[in-house]
Amino acid sequence: MNTRTEKDAIGSLEVPAGAYYGIFTERAKRNFRISGIRAERNFIKALALVKKAAAAANKELGLLDNRIGDAIMAAAAEVADGKWDEQFPLDVFQAGAGTPFNMNCNEVIANIAIEKLGGSKGNYSLAHPNNHVNMAQSSNDVIPTAIRIATLFSLQPLMAAAGKLAAEFRKKAAQYSGIVKTGRTHLEDAVPIRFDQVFNSYAHSLDNCVRRTKEAENSLLQLGIGGTAVGTGINTHPQFKQKAVANLSSYTGFNFAVADDSIFTTWSAAAFLEASSSLRLLASEMVKVCNDLMLLNSGPKTAIAEIVLPEAEPGSSIMPGKVNPSVPECAIMACYQALGNDFAVAEAAKAGQMELNVMTPLMGFGLLWSAKLMTNALGMLDEFCVKEMNVDAERSQQLLHKGLSLVTALNPYIGYEVAAEVVKIALSEDKPLAQVIVETGVMGQADLKKVLDARAMTEPGLVDKELQQRIQNSESFKRFRQSLFAK
């Protein structure tokens, strides 16, 4: 392999001749062989935009030669567009504060700029990774800034996917609004609930998660670029911060602001915790929703089977014809990984010492991976599960009227103790609830039909006082109640 020799403070090292990265990246590539996972595209894009914004600011302030600055900006734009992604070989687990990431970007942009200026890769007299590309910057302000920008890029498709899935649940709610099912608490039969209420609650959950994510964006919009090493702004022009941040707003479309306290943004991971927390909320809520879908689909002959999920694939290598809820299962795994990432982010956020938190590479990786996982999981649920999901109305009605939770509606008319005794008799004698109520003389058939209206039980309603008095004054009811308390 052809190489070129580059030097740094440690010594000399051979770098692949065709590589646009340099000695710093080569050392990091050799040192940190941990996961084999490279940086997300959005992170590389964000890094390059920071470099472009800084070069433009320094050029405007008269600190960077126009010709060099123009070449750096053009090179950074190409990197941001994805033209040079193969030149970013570093593992996401690397030296603290992301210095290898920062220098990888500096070296690639410098060498691209050098060629644009008519030179050969490695001729850093034309465009230098540190002196020119990294002017008025430090890894300590560049990496947190890039993570903020990359996270904002990643949250946009996530919120869109959540909104789309919420809309699909609302469609299902409208489609099955007239169907009442058995509610369940503690995995036991409970009072009736309508499918539109269930599906709309899922949509509301997603809406709430999107709201929380949008709130987390506010912290991410505060940028500490220009703080350099410890947030004090050493080696920067007094106007650099404002100009660099304004440039980033222009390049990205986000309304960024200069951080109120760049010392705070250098050591604090609060913004990353807020964003990660919103992803944790979404993952937690979706695990619950997916579990519901699997339980409601369970069977199809020996369990609930009130909904029918689309068949995504054969479910068993040994049982012919078996179909599993593969899509919700996969989504739950993605959610669990996102929850694990959140734990890692939370632990890393505690690791700040003095003026810096060096765990930014881990936090950035966790945030961006979780956003990607959740975006893809929500899209999969929408397209391959919820969109083609159906409700089995006949099965739902069968289970509803077979269950005993309808007796709850009788409480205002016959009292809790009498209602509980009726349920005990129905269970012990394996009889339908309505049959037992009529046989014991607690209520007549006509009155029972009025009270046991499953649809009416799914929302607030007033007690029919006249009916209540008629039932409780009937001799048959009095006899049954007296026999109950005589036991």
Q: Which residues are catalytic?
A: 316
What tokens appear for 291 in the block?
């579990």
Answer whether the bond into residue 300 is a cis peptide, omega within 30°.
yes
Taking the mean position of all CA atoms in its chain, how far away is CA 73? 33
Q: Round to whole Å and give the CA distance between 364 and 152.
A: 12
Q: Round to whole Å and give the CA distance between 306 and 315.
A: 19
What tokens appear for 253 in the block?
């479309």
Burial 8-44, CB ≥16 within 10 A → b, else e: eeeeebebeeebbbbbbbbbbbeebeeeeeebbbbbb
Q: Which residue has the tokens 């040994």?
A: 318
Q: Which residue has the tokens 């519901």?
A: 292
Q: Are 295 and 304 in contact (CB under 8 A)?
A: yes
Contacts of 133 by beta carbon, 8 Å cutoff, 6+ apart: 51, 55, 72, 105, 106, 109, 110, 113, 127
Strand positions, DSSP E, 133-242: 180-185, 188-194, 222-223
Q: Round to whole Å and give the CA distance between 29 and 89.
A: 7
Cross-strand partners of 38: 91
